[in-house]
Amino acid sequence: MELKRFGFIAAIIIVLFSVVVLIGSSQSSPLIIIGSMIATTIAVATPLTLGALSGLYCERAGVVNIGIEGMMLAAAFFGWLASIYMNSIFGWAALPSLIGGVFFAMLTGGLFALLHAVLSVTFKVDQIIGGTVINILAIGITGFLNRQMFFDKGSIFGGNVPHAPGTLPSLGKAINSICNGGCDGLVNSISGSVIDQKPIALLAILLVIFTHYLLFYTRWGLRMRAVGEHPRAADTVGINVQRMRYANVIIGGLMAGLGGAYFTLESVPSFEPLMTNGRGFIALAAMIFGNWTPFGAWAAALVFGASQAMQINLQIFRESIPPQLAVLQISYVVGLTPYILTMLILTGIIGKTTPPAADGQPYEK
């Protein structure tokens, strides 16, 4: 991705941070505010980063996926459900239940992606319609099961929302429990710092680097791009287009599933209907803004993360917001930034993007 766009991204993030530092300056020192903003930005950008990677795997292989939102929602629900089962019915400890939950979330994402692949690769259904089917199906299934299992007197939990095994621990806490209090120096230096993130957030960053390597430096990546750019040429040299597309859509589903796990296993220990709240679509915009590259998508996800972090931090400093700005109902205005930014990005004002040439086209042999 060209330097200009990274510069633009850096500029937006600096502006967002500055506003928070200015408003919060009477209550806290700038360094502390910036540190907390960075930590929050990385954390809340996690589902966006993973959603964008999900879209990237699908679209680089030539399959448009607007079902990321639904995949994440379903993964959030089923991962959470699995962790509850392991914890309160099988009697596992909290941490193994949570890790098991993450595994099930990824599995859910993968299964929904398999459905998308069947629809778009085998049956050659219009891919945007196929994604819409995934979204509606996910809303329906999670809403139905959530009510049926937890809000019904005859359900397994007798009409109560059960006790969930909490959320995944942050890096500092994890290291602390691994060395049994034997490495206080390391723990102290990590705790409270920017890298004291929870595991899915850290994994997301590693996956960005991994995807970049896979896409541009391996045979698999070359084949993946080939079926996304010119499937007929790829077919001619003996690449199995259908199989390549199936595999990458499913990998994309695993990524979306991990992103879904963030909501119920890492961020909060509960599920709410529609809780992904458009993050899957914003992730798609991040992927487009990042011009279908992993690092670009991550940078764009951080911009959206920063605007959300700003909203969260302004909530903390809301007494310090000058009354002139309070009239503008600043939380509503800031809440709109990701959506408006997404639309601006799509217009191409901020630089032209080029999708893979065969994106969205079924391949007919």
One of 137, 175, 194, 350 touching other proteins (CB under 8 A): 137
90 sits near other proteins (criterion: CB under 8 A): no
Handedness of CA 264, 269, 273, 277 (dihedral sign): negative
32 sits near other proteins (criterion: CB under 8 A): no
64 sits near other proteins (criterion: CB under 8 A): yes
CB neighbours (10 Å) of residue 363? 18
One of 143, 166, 169, 221 touching other proteins (CB under 8 A): 143
CB 56 within 8 A of CB 211: yes
State whether residue 268 is helix, strand or coil. coil
- The angle that helices 30-60 and 68-84 make with each other, rounded to 10 degrees, is 110
28 or 353: CB nearest other proteins = 353
One of 86, 119, 121, 190 touching other proteins (CB under 8 A): 119
121 or 207: CB nearest other proteins = 121
CB of 221 to other proteins, least distance (A): 21
54 sits near other proteins (criterion: CB under 8 A): no
332 sits near other proteins (criterion: CB under 8 A): yes
166 sits near other proteins (criterion: CB under 8 A): no
With CB under 8 A as the rule, give the number of residues binding other proteins: 49
Distance CA 64, CA 99 (A): 30
- Locate 43 and state its tokens: 């954390």
89 sits near other proteins (criterion: CB under 8 A): no
310 sits near other proteins (criterion: CB under 8 A): no
Question: What is the Cα 108 distance to its own chain's centre?
Answer: 15
State whether residue 258 is helix, strand or coil. helix
285 sits near other proteins (criterion: CB under 8 A): yes
CB of 323 to other proteins, least distance (A): 16
Question: What is the Cα 328 distance to its own chain's centre?
Answer: 30
124 sits near other proteins (criterion: CB under 8 A): yes
339 sits near other proteins (criterion: CB under 8 A): yes
CB of 163 to other proteins, least distance (A): 22
DSSP 32-83: HHHHHHHHHHHHHHHHHHHHHHHHHHHHHTT-----HHHHHHHHHHHHHHHH
Measured between alpha carbons, how far is residue 44 from residues 37, 311, 356 in Å?
10, 11, 28
93 sits near other proteins (criterion: CB under 8 A): no
- The angle that helices 279-289 and 241-261 make with each other, rounded to 10 degrees, is 120
275 sits near other proteins (criterion: CB under 8 A): no
The beta-carbon contacts of 171-178 under 8 Å, at least 24 apart in sequence, are 171/195, 171/196, 171/197, 171/198, 171/199, 171/202, 172/196, 174/199
CB of 113 to other proteins, least distance (A): 15
CB of 186 to other proteins, least distance (A): 42
CB of 344 to other proteins, least distance (A): 9
233 sits near other proteins (criterion: CB under 8 A): no
Q: Which residues bind other proteins (CB under 8 A)?
A: 64, 66, 119, 123-130, 132-133, 135-137, 139-141, 143-145, 147-148, 151-152, 154, 278, 281, 284-285, 288, 329, 332, 335-336, 339-340, 342-343, 346-349, 355, 357, 359-361
